[in-house]
Structure 1
Amino acid sequence: MERLLEKTSIMKHATPHILRHTHISMLTEACVDLPTIMKRMGHDDIKTTMKIYTHVTEKMKEDASQKVQKTFVSILNIRIS
């Protein structure tokens, strides 16, 4: 763990469990489908993956806003630059 952390810019205490959470959040952010994430993490129950490990990131919030704007631009009367 120490050797891995030396290769990053992470300054706070990190554990394998924290990295597992981060990994799953990054997969979700990259739009990897849930069954693939579950298989990769060894989860059999979707509740485990959804309730414990997936976190909404700032990028995911921004992407959602952009998708809404793009999809509903005519209804919302928004000008996209």
Structure 2
Amino acid sequence: MQSSTQFEQNRAQLEQAVHNTVTDPALRNAMLLNIAGMAAAMQTEIRMVDAALRTHHARNRARGLAGWILNVRECAA
């Protein structure tokens, strides 16, 4: 989470620098589009990592519960 916050802060600073220093409108728009593309890619990466971590956690949790149930059955037998 800290990395994404830092990325967003740096993205905002970069956009501000482009707005303040690039005078050619076409070049400014191209640069801002590239920055937006990087931000979108970062957000996609964050969502994919979050989904993978949730899936991993759910699998480990389910395995733990299944293992516990099997142990209870073995003890009862």
Higher relative contact order (CA 8 A, sep 6+): 2
TM-score by length of 1: 0.28
Identify, as 1 or 2, the structure richer in helix: 2
TM-score by length of 2: 0.29
